[in-house]
Structure 1
Amino acid sequence: MTLHCGGVTRALEHDPERAGWWSGEAEASDGTRYGFTLDGGPVLPDPRSRRQPDGPDGLSAVVDHGRYAWRAAWQGRALPGAVLYELHVGTYTPEGTLDAAAERLGHLVELGVTHVELMPVCPFPGWHGWGYEGVSLWAVHEPYGGPEALKRFVDRAHGLGLGVVLDVVHNHLGPSGNYLPAFGPYFTETHHTPWGAAVNLDAPGSDEVRAFLVGSALAWLRDYRIDGLRLDAVHALRDTRAYHFLEELSTAVDGLAAELGRPLFLIAESDLNDPRIVTPRTEHGLGLHAQWNDDFHHALHTTLTGESQGYYGDFAREPFAALAKTLTGGFFHDGTYSNFRGRHHGRPLNRTEVAAHRLLGYAQTHDQVGNRAQGDRLSAALSSGHLACAAALTLTGPFTPMLFMGEEWAAGTPWQFFTDHTDPELAEAVRLGRRREFAAHGWAKEDVPDPQDPATWERSCLDWSEPEREPHARVLAWYRRLIVLRKEQADLTDPDLADIKVAYDEEARWLAFRRGDVRVAVNLGKEPAAIPLGTRRARVLAAWEPVEAPGPDGLLHVPGESCVVLTQE
């Protein structure tokens, strides 16, 4: 193996203390370019590169993290009581950079969210993309601004009181620009995932692969002062070892939190419905701090839209019952039969032991919007009243709420699937694959946006003139009001799932639930609904349409496509 560093070429030597490792030294400073040659091949970037100035295929560059002068004094912000906001750097602003996104953080402060969750920022081919095809798991996409821009973003967020969560992808890399297989057994044919050979977590050589991934995770939390990580599709992390990779990672993160003296957390994306993911290690769980709860999303989406295709089919038979079950039990599939999967799925949560904030609830995410054929948001099909009901269920429900950028003002822009692959064959394969996928569901190819067309990315950028005009301004004011209530009413952050009581009427299309002294009622029907609230003395805290408090009969009269939040006097 040969090191090429700053114009100097040096042969590396076997490290006698670590089998499979090569070592050597060369003079370098911040910005010095370097790479490696293996067995006389081309010069490749460093697998642990901190910067890729010319993209995934170029030389690596040294980053001296000590050069950045942090301004914000930050003690951290824990997950309980949080309201998260998922943000894609490349479409949050027309400029598509971290610095431009940082200039818009004041909007999030006014909205009332506590943490901004960045979609992946690791380098990927081209300029525009979702970020889930990243490589160089220690580096920052150069078109976003590179490492210094991420530090400036985090610094500004912390100065405004916002925590920062970063979406990281450990379950696959590339494929374009992925040189890891040249450096060692980073992937294994022992297991396969939707992206091909699995990341090697349990086959020979996996000790070093696990250390590589754990080291990358800790680097984001330490070097960039990130507060938490969202782990993409952990169900694709195939690991048969007794000491599961997720347990090893959570142990390392908790250790770093103790060392730094500030809270750090891990949020899993998982479709396993396995409570062990968020069960503490002391209770034989994997010790992650939270996970996305797609069951809540699917039940809510089906109740709002009536859609029944794909996985929505499991929730569509009795959508209000499904929604009620998730609000009180967390998972809908808790060992029940799933027609979509053709088998039983999930396991029950212990509601008295698993705090509600360990599940994230949301009406929209990048996945649930962008993986639709045309990337249409709920605002493309639903009335403002229905959008208000979705917000009420998300922001007053038991789970840690998460919003998807633009949702808070019912953005009129779609969020579509876009790529900028520099490999023509890969670009064409992605284009054809996307159209083939939706052709199976009746979509004409001309109606499925071309991921490689720059217009697809442009359509997906937020329009920042919308929040100032109707009907967007009214929806934005509603979101702000609900987030204020979540902070003012202690019952709305009560972690006890077992204390939630729900009533509903499938035919009349209304649902109401109680959390301590707070009552929330939503009427998705077109006609007014008389909802038995169970109390005669209640005060209206917020209502989408004017509503009177319940009369002597205890009935709450809610207009069609409207919602109300009350407190018992």
Structure 2
Amino acid sequence: MASGDVRVWAPTAPAVEIEIGYPAQRREPLTPVGGGWWRWDGDPSAQIPFDYAFVIDGQAHPDPRGLALPHGVDGPSRWFDPSRFGWTDAAWRGPRDGVGALGGVLYELHVGTFTRAGTLDAAIDRLDHLVDLGIDVVELMPLAPFPGRWGWGYDGVATYAVHDGYGGPEALQRFVDAAHARGLGVCLDLVYNHLGPSGNHLWAFGPYFTDDHQTPWGKGLNLDGHDNAEVRQWVLDHAVQWVRDFHVDAFRLDAVHALQDDSPRHLLAELADTVHALAADLGRPVHLIAESDLNDEIMVTPTDRGGRGMDAQWDDDIHHALHVTATGENQGYYADFGGGTAAFPDGGPVAVLATVLQEVFLHNGRMSTFRGKVWGHPVEPAGRADRFVAYLQTHDQVGNRATGDRIGVTAGPTRQVAAAALYLLSPYTAMVFMGEEWAASTPFAYFTSFDDVALAESVRQGRRREFATHGWREADIPDPQAESTRDASVLRWEERGSADHARVWEAYRTLIALRRTVPDLASGRIDEIATDFDESGRWVSMRRGDVHVIAAFGETAVSVPAPAGAEVLFAMDGTYADGDVQPEGGTIDEATVRFSGPGVIVLHGSR
């Protein structure tokens, strides 16, 4: 905020004061200016650093719109003027030279475990790695302050600020500027559906939450009740801040199905129109990507057609189908994806995978065994598959496993690459989870550092109870509060050049390069998928134009139809044509490819 702009919305407060300094030095009254707003007439730039809190009913609270919290989530805010940063990205037109995030390759990372230091400045030193991999947009897990030094960020509270342990708001500006200098866009993961259980001070200022709507985390955000206009504006201004003052290129919006809004115009639609209008004014794309459990195309339908206006949404069904095909796991919400259920009775996991790749969702009006009801709605990709984000791993799908183990550990490197080839060479927007590109051996476990002893113990016991029901021993479940759990989750960058890690790294680089350079892969459709499944072998063949991606996941030898005379664009393990392993650039003469076990080959040639 700039000079003269220290203000706060507190519609029910009889009086509001500002407490200045840390430790507190003095208090001064704020002036009511109408609409429930209060203003301080002093100049924060006259005292740098300027730490301040708002006092209501004798209790001090950080600024709901404050950009920095250097003293923890219960301490005062620090005034920060984002306009003082010296940007060097004046020529930046957006990711992919103005195309934006859709259709590109995203890379999800957690700042606290991406490097040993766990800061945004340390992450800058690894951006060249992402450029070399072929990434278009870096997606940062939530940066909002949370209690303690380490956490996933989904327990954030002061959403306008950047966690001090990551470097604070100016560190984010440095990161975005450095990313743009390398041609990388930046996406922020924003959480509007709830605030963390510790350090939330919004309740002191006004009706930010309502009893009318409940979420898995408690009261819902007040989007349609009394005084909802200012709450909605608080959300809209928050998103505008990141685009305008921090030059961010995209947002991932967490669990938007929990944003319950009975208003004539849903908050998401208003948010989409606001962000898109700002992007048009700035002359660069800004995309919104939703995480939604609804399996409903309304999420990515434009607002002028009655939709929510999101540009894309995560597609967990693609993840589930890939995971079950590669690992054979079929418990919990994976049950329907192995086939043999009411949702999909025949053909095994590869048939389910083929269906999901073609239809976007498995649960698109089919029975969901896990939910116990029919779920979702049909989607017509119609050349717009880039509206859905496909992936093999995410923070959720790795971190919400009991030990945080990765698919490379569970399925092995060859099956991982076979599954990766199917999503990286699909028409969907693709996303890689940090470390996936070299089959990192490190887990990504759930970890916290709550100061509240009772809360910490509640989380610890909750994790133990949850996974005990799945047969895990308590001793095998990492303690979320243990510093060793976070430390074990830090990527080991030295692994990249060794053994299988190097092979997986080269495979991901090659596959992403093919995605970017082969014309047939620029279409928004899949032309044909064939599969076969029995107890000993399973394979998937996906054709896009003259490109054939053939992936085998079984242990025994299988022969798969292939185009005779096709050029080999990529091959890994167990992939044979005419009896010999074919190098990239070679050709196959027979109309079959024979796999001795799990493997993958990418061909280009006649059908």
Which TM-score bucket, shorter chain as reference? over 0.9
| 1:540 aligned residue | 568
Instruction: State the AA in 2 paired with 1:563.
Output: V
Q: Which amino acid aligns with 1:543?
A: A
Assess if the C-alpha contact under 8 Å between 1:76 and 1:163 holds in 2.
yes
Listed as ranges, the matches of 1:406-445 within 5 Å are: 406-445=435-474
How much does 1:348 deviate? Answer: 0.7
Number of the residue aligned with 2:68 = 51
Aligned length: 561
In 1, Cα distance between the equivalents of 2:312 and 2:278?
A: 18
Unaligned runs of 5+ in 2: 1-15, 340-347, 578-586
The residue aligned with 2:418 is 389
- 8 Å CA contact 1:115–1:162 kept in 2: the answer is yes
Cα distance between partner residues in 1 of 2:242 and 2:132: 27
Matched, 1:105 2:123: no
Q: Which residue of 2 aligns with 1:471?
A: 500
Q: Which residue of 2 aligns with 1:33?
A: 51
Query: Which residue of 522, 539, 555 corresponds with 2:592?
Result: 555
For the residues of structure 1 that align with 2:492 and 2:71, how far apart are their CA atoms? 30
Q: CA shift at 1:537, angstroms?
A: 3.2
| Matched-pair contact (CA < 8 Å) for 1:523–1:559 | no
Q: CA deviation at 1:383?
A: 2.1
Pair 1:142 & 2:176 matched: no
Q: Name stretches of at least 5 consecutive residues in structure 1 with no aligned partner.
A: none
Mapped to 2, the partners of 1:206 and 1:268 lie a distance apart of 22
CA distance in 2, matches of 1:480, 1:71: 29
Check whether the contact 2:103–2:428 (CA below 8 A) recurs between aligned residues: no
Distance (whole Å) between structure 2 residues aligned to residue 396 and residue 22 of structure 1: 54
Does residue 333 (structure 1) correspond to residue 363 (structure 2)? The answer is yes
| Pick aligned residue for 1:121 from 113, 121, 143 | 143
**RMSD of Structure 2 on Structure 1 (CA):** 1.3
Match of 1:75 among 93, 116, 131: 93
Give the partner amino acid of 1:506: F
Q: 1:249 aligns with which of 271, 279, 299?
A: 271
Q: Matched residues in 2 for 1:310 and 1:383: separation?
A: 22
Tell me the SS of whatever aligns to 1:381. Answer: helix
Q: Is the 8 A contact 1:5 1:28 kept in 2?
A: no
SS in 1 for 2:214: strand
2:3 is matched with which residue? Answer: none
Q: Distance between the aligned counterparts of 1:388 and 1:401, measured in 2?
A: 14
Distance in structure 2 (CA, Å) of the matches to 1:57 and 1:491:
54
Alignment deviations for residues 254-312 of structure 1 (CA, whole Å, 9 cap, x no partner): 01101111110000001110101011123221111000000000011111111111100
Task: Give the Cα separation in 1 of the matches to 2:177 and 2:145.
Answer: 21
1:349 paired residue number: 379
Where does residue 345 of structure 2 map in the other structure? none
Query: What are the Cα deviations for residues 408-435 of structure 1, in whole angstroms up to 9, with x where unaligned?
Result: 0010111101000011111111111111
Contact kept in structure 2, 1:5 and 1:26, CA below 8 Å: no
Name the amino acid aligned to 2:77.
Answer: S
The residue number in structure 2 matching 1:11 is 29
Deviation, structure 1 residue 216: 0.7
* Partner residue in 1 for 2:5: none
Q: Say which of 504, 516, 519 aligns to 2:531.
A: 504
Tell me which residue corresponds to 1:311.
333
Q: Is the 8 A contact 1:275 1:349 kept in 2?
A: yes
Q: Is the 8 A contact 2:460 2:481 kept in 1?
A: yes
How many Å separate the matches in 1 of 2:518 and 2:377?
Answer: 31
Partner secondary structure for residue 242 of structure 1:
coil
**Cα distance in 1 between the residues matched to 2:107 and 2:481:** 27
Task: Give distance in 2, aligned partners of 1:63 and 1:559.
Answer: 61
Cα offset, 1:227, TM superposition:
0.4
Q: How many Å apart are 1:468 and its aligned residue?
A: 1.3
- 2:132 alignment partner AA: E
| Structure 2 counterpart of 1:89 | 111
SS at match of 2:481: coil
AA in 1 matched with 2:564: R
In the TM superposition, what is the alpha-carbon distance from 1:206 to its structure 2 partner? 1.4
> Is the 2:253–2:291 contact (alpha carbons within 8 Å) kept by the matching residues of 1?
yes
Give CA-to-partner distance per residue, 1:207-235, whole Å, 9 cap, x none: 11111011111111111111000000001
Match of 1:64 among 81, 88, 106: 81
1:437 partner SS: helix
More displaced, 442-451 or 403-412? 442-451
Contact 2:393/2:436 (<8 A) preserved? yes
Query: Please, what TM-score do these two structures have when normalized by structure 1?
Result: 0.96
Amino acid at match of 1:5: I
Partner of 1:486: 515
Q: What is the CA–CA distance in structure 2 between the aligned matches of 1:213 and 1:298, rounded to whole Å?
A: 32
Query: What is the distance in 2 between the residues matched to 1:491 and 1:284?
Result: 33
Distance in 2, matches of 1:491 and 1:559, equals 28
**Is the contact made by 2:568 and 2:588 (CA closer than 8 Å) also made in structure 1?**
no
Kept in 2, the 8 Å contact 1:118–1:167? The answer is yes
The amino acid that maps onto 1:27 is D
User: Counterparts of 1:304 and 1:355 in 2: how far apart (Å)?
Assistant: 27
Which residue of the partner structure matches residue 21 of structure 1?
A: 37
Letter in structure 2 aligned against 1:32:
F
For residues 365-384 of structure 1, the aligned pairs below 5 Å read 365-384=394-413
